[in-house]
């Protein structure tokens, strides 16, 4: 085989070679664009601003924090064991399993627990809807798979703690609409897990 034949055989695009579409910085296919040299800095600033805006959307930032009341009276309410799909359980004594104090059920350690109001839709698939109160305990050590309250560059967000195949920390949304992307934590980010979400509650009326 002559040298020309070798070059022709080795040349050309190989199937599956190169970076996968959607794996780059912008998570989508990119195109080459020629712009005046004087406008390079302007375009870069615009793209950086776009990335910051997209990051804020993916973060689904929470800003409202509340602490449990200092003095709470015990409030034990009946807990029925009757299995019903709707309506009220039977008041018969044999269905009364025990009495439940909502404060004790929701809060493990009062001194390290606070509430965060959910403000977006990034975690709806795990039952966290806008207006819900998430119960966060700072004393608990977060594990992979836990729902956590994290702070990234000064912004708070609630996501599921995860790791990439490479072992890097990721924060995963729980929204099947794909409107929210996973957040990959990099060395440039100021990142900290502030607490573990242990539960939530909401009012309907």
Positions annotated as catalytic residues are: 122, 159
* Cβ-based neighbour number of residue 202 at 10 Å: 12
From first CA to last CA, the distance across the chain in angstroms is 82
Q: CA 95 to CA 82: how far, in whole Å? A: 6
Cα 154 to chain centroid distance, Å, stands at 16
CA distance 101 to 70: 16
Q: Give Cα 97 to chain centroid, integer Å.
A: 36
* Local structure of residue 23 (DSSP, 8 states): -
């Amino acid at each position: 085989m002559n040298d020309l034949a070798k070059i022709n055989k080795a040349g050309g695009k190989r199937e599956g070679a190169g970076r996968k579409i959607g794996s780059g910085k912008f998570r989508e296919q990119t195109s080459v664009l020629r712009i005046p040299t004087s406008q390079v800095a302007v375009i870069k600033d615009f793209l950086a601003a776009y990335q910051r805006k997209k990051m804020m959307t993916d973060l689904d930032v929470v800003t409202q924090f509340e602490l449990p009341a200092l003095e709470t009276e015990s409030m034990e309410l009946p807990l029925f064991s009757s299995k019903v799909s709707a309506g009220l359980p039977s008041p018969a004594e044999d269905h009364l399993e025990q009495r439940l104090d909502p404060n004790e059920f929701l809060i493990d350690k009062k001194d390290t627990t606070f509430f965060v109001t959910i403000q977006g839709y990034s975690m709806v698939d795990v039952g966290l809807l806008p207006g819900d109160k998430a119960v966060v305990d700072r004393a608990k050590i977060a594990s992979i798979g836990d729902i956590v309250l994290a702070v990234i560059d000064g912004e708070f967000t609630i996501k599921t703690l995860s790791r990439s195949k490479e072992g890097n920390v990721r924060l995963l949304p729980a929204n099947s609409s794909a409107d929210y992307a996973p957040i990959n934590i990099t060395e440039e980010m100021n990142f900290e897990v502030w607490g573990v979400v242990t539960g939530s509650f909401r009012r309907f009326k």
